[in-house]
């Protein structure tokens, strides 16, 4: 082993996007920087190479977005329809999809630094373009972007990596390939002083003032996947580099770093069933199949097992990618008809794809080796359950199903236009969620909650930001744009004329006021008694609410209208047992931000769901019986209308 040579101030372990950004930043601050990449040069870029190069960041105006692109023509700008994606929206999305488990300080740091980081990257030669092909639908003559994700690097993931390596070379960053970091060198104080490296020439120690670990998670390590993710995960396809085997995490844990985050969780997608075991640099990320909200997903038995239209695919594809590993044969099949084939993403048109096409569902099932009778039954039931409503893939259109389980909440259309086409998929793992705890300055924290001098971390091996613990099947469904703006205004005008009463609980007056119809609930007595009749203006809305769950409208014997002034909310509770198992609610004028929780201590689970103005929700099953819920304080005046059935045997008298 060679003697230490203190030629570098900062050594970065890893050669992907996070590593190169860390190296560039350190170099700009005057440090002598070395990047150690254990892969050969032809495999440079880590997982970043296999991505689309898309970056999520907050922006408050279209002009901010255009400034980051720089060279959009007036015609291109006129053809784009983009809603602002504010810091609040980004933060809410992040906390919602992580079930409120993400470290709030780290999440806020990510959100607030998102646009400055994209701008910083642009200033260092990274060029951005709109994601017309992946994140927009053409409506008329305009491209309507959706889901808050708008820009990607020119050339996608490969282009991003090429631009970053060019920028690093120009800045004077030294890069060594086939240089595997084996362990961290520490002094008597426990401070990191260097890295022990293995190269084709042998072992050496590189002395340095600081080490940045940015070598990814353990997704390419079958032993660690099985140990931490569980059964069958050793059989998952790896979407990206075969070189992310958890080395950086292991080295840090060996010197006392604190394990942090969701170690049994990972980012995964629906991936072609016959893709290679590791990423293919020629095909890149095109083995993924992300247009599933336009069709249905079934298993080998021909049965649906997820709500394909629960949300935009940005917020469900990870969850559903994980689910497939639990299905028979670790396989699933996306089924479409000709009404939507033209809307499928480009990845469906590559040569390396496992697909079948047929004029009948029965023939398609046979070609894909799906249970024929099972798929025929599923498609027939699905087609009958589809609600007649306008189809719009650029918004959550509320065009769902009724009377089947699982439902499809949006974008449901009958599969009735042959030829039918099916794509076979399995689980493809991207990166793992468990990792190291860091401070807001990127310092790695040890098990005693102290920082480890000289050790920093960035990228996928940082824990505490991404979690995946969605309470599937909990009984909550969301129906966006349930009302038109004019319907909302008319209802609000009628509600303003109502006589609201004070809500008192344990002798304390709440900030909200309430009006009850059909039955009245006593918040102090915990009993119900007959109330005034339902106003005529609520009858049509009650019928529409009942239709969401295939219920006779008269069964909604109680209607509660709450008036929430700015700052009012509701604390943790379960609904009174006098009311039936399912409720339907509608939010007017402002968004309702639900929070859910169950369990205590380390077993506590949480989840969040926002119900936007004019939207409806259905709450039943475990969401009411096993989970408590709360409503966050509103920022503006809001009305909620809740329709409930009544267990009359519990009524007063």
What average pLDDT does the structure give for the chain? 89
- Across the range 11-38, mean pLDDT stands at 97
Question: How far apart (Å, rounded) are the C-alpha atoms in residues 549 and 409?
Answer: 12
CB-based contact 31:233 (threshold 8 Å) = no
Q: Model confidence over 509-529: pLDDT tens digits?
A: 889 999 999 998 887 777 888
What CATH architecture is 476-650?
A: Sandwich (2.60)
Q: Model confidence over 350-396: pLDDT tens digits?
A: 999 999 999 999 999 999 999 999 999 999 999 999 999 999 987 88
Residue 438 is classified by DSSP as B
For domain 267-429, give the CATH number.
3.90.700.10
Which residue shows structure tokens 């359950």? 385
Task: Name the pLDDT band for 450 (thresholds 50, 70, 90).
Answer: very high
CB-based contact 358:367 (threshold 8 Å) = yes
- Across the range 325-346, mean pLDDT stands at 95
Question: How far apart (Å, rounded) are the C-alpha atoms in residues 455 and 443?
Answer: 6
Share of the chain above pLDDT 90, in %: 60
Question: How far apart (Å, rounded) are the C-alpha atoms in residues 48 and 589?
Answer: 42
- Across the range 599-618, mean pLDDT stands at 76
Helix (H, G, I), strand (E, B) or coil at 649: helix
Task: Name the pLDDT band for 144 (thresholds 50, 70, 90).
Answer: confident
pLDDT at site 474: 40
Q: What share of residues in the chain are helix, strand, coil (percent, to 5)?
A: 30, 30, 40
Indicate whether 111 pLDDT > 70.
Answer: yes
Indicate whether 138 pLDDT > 90.
Answer: no
Tokens coding 270? 């629906």
pLDDT at site 361: 98
pLDDT at site 625: 62
Indicate whether 6 pLDDT > 60.
Answer: no
Q: Cα dihedral sign for 222, 224, 230, 236?
A: negative
- Please, which residues have CB within 8 angstroms of residue 366's CB and are 6 or more apart in sequence? 358, 372
Which of 543 and 140 is assigned the larger pLDDT? 543
Q: Which residues of 6-38 are buried (b: 16+ CB within 10 A; e: fewer)?
A: eebbbbbbbbbbbbbbbbbbbbeeebbbbbbbb
Which residue shows structure tokens 């230490």? 4
Length of the chain: 653
Which residue shows structure tokens 């449901």? 412
Residue 59 is classified by DSSP as B
Indicate whether 400 pLDDT > 90.
Answer: yes
Q: Give residue limits of the domains in the chain.
A: 10-49+159-215+434-461, 54-154, 267-429, 476-650
Which residue shows structure tokens 């499809």? 408
Which helix (DSSP H) or strand (DSSP E) does residue 411 occupy?
Answer: none
DSSP string, 125-187: T--EEE-HHHHEEEETTEEEE-TT--EEETTHHHHHHHHHHHHHHHHT-EEEES-EEEEEEE-
The neighbouring-strand residues paired with 501 are 514
- Across the range 549-562, mean pLDDT stands at 87
Distance in angstroms between the alpha carbons of the first and the last residue of the chain:
88
Tokens coding 35? 């990047």
CB-based contact 266:468 (threshold 8 Å) = yes
CB-based contact 180:95 (threshold 8 Å) = no
Output the CA–CA distances (angstroms, integers) from residue 559 to 512, 554, 583, 586, in the order listed.
16, 11, 10, 11
CB-based contact 229:27 (threshold 8 Å) = no
Task: Name the pLDDT band for 424 (thresholds 50, 70, 90).
Answer: very high
Helix (H, G, I), strand (E, B) or coil at 25: helix
Which helix (DSSP H) or strand (DSSP E) does residue 378 occupy?
Answer: helix 372-385
CB-based contact 411:340 (threshold 8 Å) = no
Q: Model confidence over 475-487: pLDDT tens digits?
A: 566 777 788 899 9
pLDDT at site 172: 97
pLDDT at site 464: 87
Task: Name the pLDDT band for 586 (thresholds 50, 70, 90).
Answer: very high
Indicate whether 19 pLDDT > 50.
Answer: yes
Let me know the angle formed at the C-alpha of 8 by 6 and 13, rounded to the nearest 5 degrees: 115
Give burial (CB, 10 Å; 0-12/13-18/19+) of 622.
Answer: middle
CB-based contact 399:389 (threshold 8 Å) = yes
Which of 308 and 626 is assigned the larger pLDDT? 308
CB-based contact 368:354 (threshold 8 Å) = no
Share of the chain above pLDDT 70, in %: 94
Which residue shows structure tokens 């920087």? 33
Residue 273 is classified by DSSP as T
Indicate whether 176 pLDDT > 50.
Answer: yes
Which CATH number fits the domain 10-49+159-215+434-461, given the four candidates 3.30.420.40, 3.10.105.10, 3.50.50.60, 3.40.800.10? 3.50.50.60
pLDDT at site 415: 98
Which of 148 and 502 is assigned the larger pLDDT? 502
Relative to beta strand 33-37, strand 10-13 is parallel
- Across the range 207-232, mean pLDDT stands at 94
Among candidate residues 160, 252, 153, the one with its CA nearest the CA of residue 212: 252
- Across the range 339-352, mean pLDDT stands at 93
Domains 10-49+159-215+434-461 and 476-650 alike in fold: no
Indicate whether 254 pLDDT > 80.
Answer: yes
- Please, which residues have CB within 8 angstroms of residue 380's CB and are 6 or more apart in sequence? none
- Across the range 116-122, mean pLDDT stands at 94
Output the CA–CA distances (angstroms, integers) from residue 45 to 119, 401, 459, in the order listed.
21, 43, 13
- Across the range 235-252, mean pLDDT stands at 96
CA atoms within 13 A on the CB side of 366: 6
- Please, which residues have CB within 8 angstroms of residue 600's CB and are 6 or more apart in sequence? none
Which of 552 and 210 is assigned the larger pLDDT? 210
């Amino acid at each position: 082993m060679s003697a230490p040579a203190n030629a570098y101030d900062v050594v970065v372990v890893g050669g992907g996007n996070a590593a190169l950004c860390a190296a560039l930043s350190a170099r700009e601050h005057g440090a002598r920087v070395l990047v150690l990449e254990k892969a050969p040069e032809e495999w440079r870029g880590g997982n970043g190479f296999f991505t689309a190069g898309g970056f999520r960041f907050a922006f408050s105006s279209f002009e901010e977005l255009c400034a980051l692109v720089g060279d959009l023509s007036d015609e291109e700008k006129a053809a784009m329809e983009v809603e602002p994606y504010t810091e609040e929206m980004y933060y809410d999305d992040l906390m919602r999809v992580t079930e409120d488990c993400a470290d709030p300080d780290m999440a806020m740091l990510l959100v607030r630094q998102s646009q400055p980081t994209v701008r910083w990257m642009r200033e260092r030669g990274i060029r951005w373009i709109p994601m017309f092909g992946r994140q927009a639908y053409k409506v008329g003559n305009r491209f309507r972007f959706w889901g808050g994700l708008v820009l990607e690097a020119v050339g996608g993931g490969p282009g991003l990596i090429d631009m970053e390596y060019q920028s690093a070379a120009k800045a004077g960053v030294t890069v060594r390939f086939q240089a595997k970091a084996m362990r961290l060198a520490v002094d008597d104080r426990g401070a990191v002083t260097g890295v022990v490296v293995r190269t084709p020439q042998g072992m050496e120690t590189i002395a340095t003032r600081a080490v940045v670990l940015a070598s990814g998670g353990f997704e390419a390590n079958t032993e660690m996947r099985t140990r931490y993710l569980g059964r069958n995960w050793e059989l998952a396809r790896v979407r990206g580099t075969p070189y992310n085997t958890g080395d950086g995490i292991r080295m840090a844990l060996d010197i006392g770093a604190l394990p942090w985050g969701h170690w049994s969780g990972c980012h995964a997608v629906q991936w072609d069933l016959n893709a290679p075991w590791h990423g293919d640099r020629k095909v890149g990320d095109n083995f993924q199949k992300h247009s599933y909200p336009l069709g249905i997903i079934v298993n080998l038995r021909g049965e649906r097992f997820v709500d394909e239209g629960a949300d935009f695919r940005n917020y469900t594809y990870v969850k559903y990618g994980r689910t497939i590993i639990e299905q028979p044969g670790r396989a699933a099949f996306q089924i479409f008809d000709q009404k939507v084939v033209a809307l499928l993403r480009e990845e469906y048109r590559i040569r390396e794809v496992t697909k079948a096409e047929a004029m009948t569902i029965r023939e398609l099932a046979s070609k894909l080796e799906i249970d024929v009778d099972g798929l025929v039954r599923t498609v027939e039931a699905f087609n009958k359950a589809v609600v007649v409503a306008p189809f719009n893939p650029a918004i959550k259109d509320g065009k769902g199903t009724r009377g089947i389980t699982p439902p499809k909440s949006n974008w449901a259309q009958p599969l009735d236009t042959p030829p039918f086409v099916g794509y076979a998929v399995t689980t493809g793992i991207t990166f793992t969620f468990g990792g190291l705890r860091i401070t807001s300055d990127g310092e790695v924290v040890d098990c005693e909650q102290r920082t480890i001098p000289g050790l920093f971390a960035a990228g996928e091996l940082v824990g505490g930001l991404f979690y995946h613990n969605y309470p599937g099947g909990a009984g909550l469904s969301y129906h966006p744009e349930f009302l038109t703006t004019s319907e909302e205004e008319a209802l609000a005008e009628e509600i303003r004329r109502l006589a609201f009463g004070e809500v008192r609980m344990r002798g304390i007056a709440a900030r909200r006021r309430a009006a009850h119809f059909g039955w009245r609930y006593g918040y102090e007595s915990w009993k119900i008694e007959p109330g005034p009749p339902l106003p005529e203006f609520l009858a049509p809305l009650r019928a529409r609410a009942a239709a969401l769950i295939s219920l006779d409208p008269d069964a909604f014997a109680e209607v509660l209208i709450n008036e929430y002034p700015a700052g009012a909310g509701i604390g943790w509770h379960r609904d009174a047992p006098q009311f039936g198992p399912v409720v339907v609610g509608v939010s007017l004028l402002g968004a309702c931000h639900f929070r859910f929780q169950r369990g205590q201590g380390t077993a506590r689970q949480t989840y969040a769901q926002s119900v936007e103005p004019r939207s409806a929700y259905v709450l039943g099953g475990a969401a009411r019986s096993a989970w408590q819920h709360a409503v966050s304080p509103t920022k503006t005046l809001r009305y909620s209308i809740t329709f409930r059935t009544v267990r009359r045997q519990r009524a007063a008298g």
